[in-house]
C-alpha cells in the first residue's frame, strides 16, 4: 500500500500542478467520491460531494480554469502520512516565498485508485478560494 500511496502522492501533485486533468482523473476509481467546499460554487450544487469520475473530471476542468495562480505556489514538504489505506498531506500556508492557500488533502485508496478524496482548507485559503471561485 505504501508504494501505491507514494505514487499517488507524487503523481496527483504533478498532474494537478501542471493542469493535466486527463492524467489526474485516471488516479481516481470509476465510482470515486470527491468532497470540497468549492464543489457547490463551481458545480452549482447544494452540497460539496461529487460521485464518479465524470462529475469529478468536470469539476477538475472547471476548477483548473478558475485557479488563482498567485496564491497556489504548490509548496509542500515531503512529509505525508500513510495509515492503512489513508493518504494525507498538507499544502501549508507558510512557504519559503510567502503565503499560499493552505489545504489538507485526505484520500482513501482502494485497488490502487483514489476511492474517496476530501479537501480541507485552512483559515488563509478559505476566503481567497471562495472569492476566486465565484468569478467567471
Q: At what angle do helices 52-66 and 123-133 cross, to 10 degrees?
A: 90
Q: What is the mean pLDDT of residues 8-21?
A: 95
pLDDT of residue 28: 98
CATH number, residue 56 = 3.10.450.50
What domain range includes position 6? 2-133
Rounded distance, CA 116 to CA 107, Å? 6
* pLDDT, averaged across the chain: 91
Pair 106, 120: CB distance under 8 Å = yes
Look at residue 64 in the predicted model and tell me its pLDDT.
84
Instruction: Give the pTM.
Output: 0.89
Q: Domain count for the chain, please give it.
A: 1
Amino acid at each position: 500500500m505504501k508504494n501505491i500511496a507514494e505514487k499517488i502522492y507524487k503523481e496527483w501533485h504533478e498532474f494537478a500542478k501542471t493542469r493535466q486533468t486527463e492524467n489526474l482523473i485516471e488516479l481516481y476509481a470509476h465510482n470515486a467520491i470527491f468532497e470540497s467546499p468549492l464543489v457547490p460554487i463551481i458545480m452549482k450544487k447544494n452540497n460539496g460531494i461529487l460521485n464518479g469520475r465524470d462529475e469529478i473530471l468536470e469539476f477538475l476542468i472547471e476548477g483548473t480554469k478558475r485557479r488563482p495562480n498567485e496564491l497556489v505556489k504548490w509548496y509542500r514538504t515531503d512529509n505525508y502520512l500513510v495509515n492503512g489505506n489513508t493518504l494525507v498531506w498538507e499544502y501549508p500556508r507558510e512557504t519559503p516565498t510567502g503565503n499560499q492557500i493552505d489545504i489538507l488533502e485526505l484520500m482513501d485508496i482502494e485497488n490502487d485508485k483514489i476511492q474517496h478524496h476530501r479537501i480541507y482548507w485552512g483559515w488563509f485559503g478559505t476566503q481567497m478560494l471562495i472569492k476566486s471561485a465565484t468569478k467567471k
